Amino acid sequence: MACSFKTGFSVSGSCDCFFNNTNKGFSVRSSVGALNITALTPNEFLGKSLDVPNQIGLSHWNVKTPKPVSINAQASICVSKAQRWWEKTLKPNMLEIHSAKELVDSLLNAGDKLVIIDFYSPGCGGCRTLHPKICQLADSNPDAIFLKVNYEELKAMCHALRIHVLPFFRFYRGAEGKLCSFSCTNATIKKFKDALGKYGTDRCSLGPAKGLDESELLALASIGQLSRNQSLDYPKKDRLENFVLSGVDLSSNFDNNLGLKESNELLMA
């Protein structure tokens, strides 16, 4: 309820209006305070406008201000970063690769374990559809190592390794080096399972892990993905040394012999 007077003063909110018989006054009590108007009779108010000049009568107004109310509020904001599809359901034996050196070192340090390199792209629909099944296979094969390579992040390295179709997989083991490589989709997942069954059995590998082929190491060195000093630390040191110390233009050798061209289109399933 709102009680308004002609003086321009108004009381808004819930209020009670009643006459005070003791002093013949009119009282207004609301949720925001109390107003008492004295020296008025009921007949002087009912049905009539109450005129109170601005310069007089103010002493008859008794305004009680409400007590201050203290409100304690606590708010907490929790912002969580949503996982991207290639980050979901990863298993402990699935590792993300962020550089060519990290890839080479991971292969060399794997010993006799089966290593599977999974080349993918965030914008590849086939990669996204296949991802949950690859995670399931990684979970059921805890002794194998799954290395994930983001094509968009390591495009130069992928070009050097001749990766031109996605999703793409490479299998490595110990001194044998690369066992097989192929592309498969969710519809042809049997190809991946067959390779896992064939090469996933325990086997003894004589000698240190081979990792990438010599030509691939040279290709990575030629585009600056590996330093020349680093390339000498990998297997087949003597033959790599011949290339480096003889002053051969590795970049030219790579383009002519391996046929790497930036114009090759990437095919995504």
Report pLDDT digits (tens) over 110-144: 999 999 999 999 999 999 999 999 999 999 999 99
CA distance linking residue 48 with residue 33, whole number of Å:
24
Q: How far is CA 73 from CA 76, 250, 264, in A?
A: 10, 67, 60
180 is catalytic: no
Q: 25-30 and 33-37: which strand pairing?
A: antiparallel
**Max Cα–Cα distance, the chain, nearest Å:** 119
**CATH number of this structure's domain 85-223:** 3.40.30.10
Task: Give the distance, in angstroms, between the CA of residue 26 and the centroid of all CA atoms in the same chain.
Answer: 67
Q: What pLDDT is stored for residue 11 in this prediction?
A: 44
Spatial contact of 226 and 217, defined as CB atoms under 8 Å apart:
yes
Mean pLDDT of the 85-102 span:
95
Residues 160-175: tens digit of each pLDDT: 999 999 999 999 999 9
Q: Would you call 127 a catalytic residue per the annotation?
A: yes
Alpha-carbon gap, residue 216 to 170, rounded angstroms: 13
pLDDT at 66: 60
- CA 37-43-49 angle, 5° bins: 65
* Residue-averaged pLDDT of the chain: 74
Q: What is the mean pLDDT of residues 245-254?
A: 41
Output the CA angle 39-44-48, nearest 5 degrees.
135
> How buried is residue 117: exposed, middle or buried, by Cβ count under 10 Å (0-12/13-18/19+)?
buried
* 48-66 residue pLDDT tens: 555 555 544 545 555 555 6
Predicted confidence (pLDDT) per residue in 168-222, tens digit: 999 999 999 999 999 999 999 999 999 999 998 777 767 789 999 999 999 999 9
| Residue in the structure block whose two tokens are 């406008």 | 49
Cα–Cα distance, 195 to 208 (Å, whole number) = 23
Closest CA to 265 of 158, 165, 169: 165
The single residue listed with the structure tokens 């590996």 is 226
Q: Which of 3, 17, 78, 124 is catalytic?
A: 124
- The residue from 3, 15, 127, 204 that is catalytic is 127
Integer CA distances (angstroms), 208 to 115, 170, 177, 213, in order:
14, 19, 10, 14
Residues 151 and 164: their CA atoms lie apart, in Å, by 10
The whole-angstrom separation of Cα 159 and Cα 161 is: 5
Predicted model pTM = 0.62
Residue given tokens 């409100």 in the structure block? 71
CA-derived radius of gyration, the chain: 41
